[in-house]
Amino acid sequence: MGNPSRKDWSTRLDEALWAYLTTFKTPLEMSPFKLVYGNPCHLLVELEHKAFWVIKKLNMDWAIASGNKLLELNVMEEFQTQAYENARLYKEKTKPWHDAIILPRQFEPG
């Protein structure tokens, strides 16, 4: 695409969003992608390598598959609970630092 300039920002939004969603976030201790989907993001190369394994896994019994799906939903709920707890702890740790920076102000009527 040549030399990038400020006018090219709209063509970079998809890449920026993908980078944000797949990057590990310290306060959450996971990526937003993993928080939403319950699994870390896999690149296309990894998916191609695992294609045979996925096809083999999909050929299982429906009763077992539904049981596995319920387990996955429970794990997803645990991930969300863990993320909320990590965010709460992060806010608790950063609040004293943030409050120390804020200058006290006194307001008077009029």
- Residue 39's DSSP bridge partners are none
What is the pLDDT confidence band of residue 59, given thresholds at 50, 70 and 90? low
Q: How high is the mean pLDDT of the chain? A: 79
pTM over 0.85: no
* Eight-class DSSP state of 50: T
Neighbours of 34 (CB within 10 A): 20
More confident residue, 29 or 47: 29
The amino acid at 58? L
Q: Quick one: average pLDDT of 80-102?
A: 91
Reply yes or no on whether the pLDDT at 9 is more than 90: no
Alpha-carbon torsion angle 23, 25, 26, 29, nearest 10: -100
